[in-house]
A and B are shown apart, each in its own frame.
Chain A
Amino acid sequence: MSKDISKREGKIAKDGTGMKVYIKPEEAQKAGIALGDNVSVVVNPDGTITIKPAAPPNLYEKFLQNAIDGGVEFGDPIEVGDSYVIPILTKSEQAMPRDYITVPEAIAMGQLRFTDTGGIQGVHVTNTGNMGVLVLQGQVFEGATQPRTIITNMILAPNQDVVLPARCVHSSHPINANAKMTIAGMSPRNVSFSLMTPQSKVDQQRVWGEVGCIMGTCVTVVKSFKDAGVVFNTDVWHGSNDLTHAMHEVGQAAMFACSNVDAGILRREKKFQNR
């Protein structure tokens, strides 16, 4: 323990129950601690202590255990290509009314306006309606400007005007400040993976890297369909970094094709190529 008493700020509580540490409100705020929060305290070898917000309980564990124990129902697996999609069904006979709607619903109702902030990390949105709007992490917005993906889930309040935190998904496209934007869809799985972390940790370089990866996969997918003789009226080229093209053209065409083509054809074709 440190012998420099002048640096110690903790005091033994008068009732003998432990040590009280006095922290200034501005210091607590910097550490992300608010009044009434649970915190974790670690005594360091040099006698100092580290106070930080306590790790939240693993609510995923409870959520998944509840699902396994029958909190939801699972539909029959649906075969899509070589994979399966399993529907999750609610057990409630009648759902409670929502006090929010989704972005596609809000756009259809004309209550959302998106514009480019002119900065790479933000999309300006105005909710002019009287319902909250759920924005999902990974949703992509495009227009006559650089497309962006939103990096957090949130519910916009009615009549709220806010800048949504975002990252670029087409690195070579210039930004056009104040350009109108609209929803293009959802980022592919691997791009979404790079976004699923606290905002301060979402790395733009990694997002671009994942866009590059999915474009490479698109090249392979398009080739395998074409080699198998499937009519595929779109293309993607090595080195492209245009994610919205992959989402709109390749993703939809591939999805449509794989739902109508026996996946065995693709596997047989692959074997043939490997001979």
Chain B
Amino acid sequence: MFKRGRWNIKEGKEIPKQIGMIVVKNGKLIGMEMAGHPDTFNAVKAQLYQKYAIDLASTGQKVEVDVKKVMTDLLIELRDGHVEMGDSSQNIGGQNVFVETPELRGSFFQRGNLPVFVSIVRK
């Protein structure tokens, strides 16, 4: 099931219809990045891999991953998060909505009700 990727972040690896990614380390989600459009994700994916490069390169505990469980755990963690709107000065061309729990922070950038970019990271 698991593939060994050749993840040169300069080149990336093109996956058709990809709009985001989840990064899991030690069995826990450490980051989720999702764009509202595949072209947007493709254009910034090298930067997003760079964001997690040191995490991926450092050693950890190898735990096989169950995507549904990872997502459900994330939902439970964020359910009671403190949600806050971005300051008016930072809402240029869209609106930022932030969430914070003791371990996670997220930014949800939307226009109208359409997500443009969502990022959730662990402390």
Contact = CB atoms under 8 A, between A and B. Distances in A.
Contact of B43 (A102, A187, A260): A102
A58 B23 contact: no
B38 A95 contact: yes
B21 A189 contact: no
A153 B18 contact: no
A55 B71 contact: no
Contacts, number: 298
A139 B47 contact: yes
Interface in B76-120: 78-79, 81, 83-94, 96-100, 105-111, 115-120
Contacts of A55: 83-84
A138 B51 CA distance: 9
A198 B96 CA distance: 8
Nearest to B66: A77
Contacts of B122: 189, 193
B19 A72 contact: yes
A251 B50 contact: yes
Interface size range of chain B in the complex: 35 or more
Given A90-B38, A152-B86, A197-B84, A64 B78 contact: yes
Given A58-B81, A68-B72, A155-B111, A198 B86 contact: yes
A9 interface: no
Interface of B: 1-10, 13, 15-26, 30-32, 34, 37-40, 43-44, 47-62, 65, 67-68, 70-72, 74-75, 78-79, 81, 83-94, 96-100, 105-111, 115-123
3 nearest A-B residue pairs (beta carbon): A155-B93, A254-B57, A88-B20
22 contacts: A59-B108, A61-B79, A72-B34, A74-B67, A76-B3, A78-B13, A82-B60, A84-B25, A87-B21, A89-B18, A95-B38, A137-B107, A138-B51, A138-B119, A151-B90, A152-B86, A156-B92, A192-B119, A193-B123, A197-B98, A200-B87, A255-B9
